[in-house]
Structure 1
Amino acid sequence: MSQSYPLLFLWLLVLSAVSSTAIPFRTGIFTPVKGGSVTTRADKVPLRVLPLGASITWGVNSASGNGYRAPLRNKLTSTGWEVDMVGTKQHGNMTDNDVEAHSGDIIDQVKAAAQGSLKYKPNVVLINAGTNDCRRNISISEAGDRMRSLIESILDAEDTQDTTIVLSTLIPSVQKQTEANRPEVNRQYRSLVNNMQKESVRIVLADMDPEKDDDNNRLVYPEDYTTDGVADDTHPNEQGYAKMANVWYNAVLEASDRGFIQ
C-alpha cells in the first residue's frame, strides 16, 4: 500500500493542472449573428418592439395584413429573442399584431401618433416614415430635421429615454413625385443616423435602398409590389415585405452587437 502513495500524488497533480487550464463551459443556446459574433439565448434582452409609420408599416398590399412585421418577428424569435410587438393599433392575422401606423401620415403626424404608444416602454422603435412627405412634396429639404424632431420626441419621453431607434430609408416607388424626392430624403436620413450616433444616441440605419445590394434585399418593381395581378406604385407585396424584414432584422442585430438594446 505504501508504494501507491507516490502514484496517487502524481495523479492528483495531473488533475489539478487540467482543471486550472480547462476552458469554462457555459450553458445556453448559442445562435450566430451577423458579423460572426455569437450570443446565448440568456444574453438576449427581451424586445418590446414598436413598429412606427404609415401605410407601409400598417401592411397595405400585404395579403395577410402583416406587412414586414410577421416575417421580422419570426426571424427574431427563431434566433432566441422574446418579442412583444407594441402599439395602440392591431392589424394582420399574425400573433402579436400590435402596431402604431396610420395610412397617409406624414412625418409630423407620425411624431404625434407615436406618443400614444410610448407608455408601453418599447426598447426598440422601428421608424419608416417620409414616403407621404415625398408624395406630397412637403418641405423635402427639411425632412431630416423633421425626422430628428420625431426621434428626439421619443427619446425625451420619460418611458423611452434609453430606447434604441432603428430608422429605415424609404423603399423605391414608381409614383413619380415620391420617387423624385426619395433619394434626397434617404440622403438626409443616412446623414442623420451618422450624426446622432456621434452624439451617442442609440440609433442604427435599416437601409432599404443600399448602394450595394449584396444580400439581394432591395425591392424590385413590379415583382415585389404585385398582389393578385395588380402592381401597387408604393406598397410591397408579401415577398417585398419579407425583404424589408430582412433589412430590419440585420439592423436589430447591429444594434444588439453594439450593446444598444437595454
Structure 2
Amino acid sequence: MGIVLKIANLIAFFFLLSVNVYSGLAPVKDSPYSHITYISPASFTFYVWFLIHLLLVGFVIYQFFTEDDDIINKGIHWHFVGVALLNALWLALWDDDLLFLSWIVILIIACQVTYIYHEIYFHYFPFDHFSWRYTFIYLPFTLYHAWIVVVAVLTTFAAITPEKTYSTTGHSETETASSPNIIVQLVVIIGLLFFESTAVAYIEARQDYAGGAVIAWTLYGVWHEQEDPVIHWSALILAIIATIYLFKPLVAKLFGRESKRDSVV
C-alpha cells in the first residue's frame, strides 16, 4: 500500500492545489472570500493557504524519501486524499450558495484533518524542530488543522447569520457597512472567544505555536476587516492576548535564564 498511497497523496495534492488556485482566481462571488459576515477576516488572512500549500509540496516530495513509512501509512493514511476530494465538494457547494450542505462538508473535512493531526501528535510527536520530519509532516498538518477550524467557523456563520450588508450615504459613492444588531454582535463575540480559547489550547495544551499563530492571525484579520466598534476592538484585544500567549514561553525562558544567572551571582 505504501507506494500506492504516496502516489495517491501526490495526485490529491495537485488536485487540491488546482481547485484552490481556480477558486482564488475566480470572481469574489465564486471564491472562498464570498458570503461575507460580521466575523469574516480581511482577505489577506487567506494567505495562510499559500504557506500551507508550500509545506504540502514538501510533504508530497518528502514522503518518497523518508524511511519512516509508518507515519504515512498509519498516521496520515487515506485521510489526506479524502480531504482533497471533500475540499472540492465544499467549494462547489459554497459557490452554489448551498451553505448548510457546505457546513456539513466542512465539518467532515475538519474531522479528517483532526484525525491526521491527533495521530501525528499523539503517536509520532515530538520531532526535532529543525528536522525535515517536523517541517514537512507535522507543520503542514498543524497549520491545516488550525485553518480548517477557522474555515469551519466562517462557514457556520455564513450558514446561520445574515451576510454583511453595505449602504451608501448621501452623494458619496463610498459604501459603508451596516451595523449588526445586538444579537449578531453577541454571536460574533462568542465566535471570537472560541477562536481565542482555541489559540490558547494550541499553545498551553499542545505547545503548538504554529496553530496558535494561525488563530491569532485570523483575529487580526477580523479586527482589520470589521468596522463595528464592538467587534473591531474585541477582535484586536483577543488578537493581542493570543500574541502574548505565543511569546509567553520565550519570555519565560529569557526571564528564567536571567533569574538563574542572578541566583548564581
Q: Same fold (TM over 0.5)?
A: no
Structure showing the higher helix proportion among its residues: 2
Instruction: State the TM-score, normalizing by the size of structure 2.
Output: 0.31
Structure showing the higher strand proportion among its residues: 1
Compare CA radii of gyration and give the structure with the larger one. 1
Instruction: State the TM-score, normalizing by the size of structure 1.
Output: 0.31
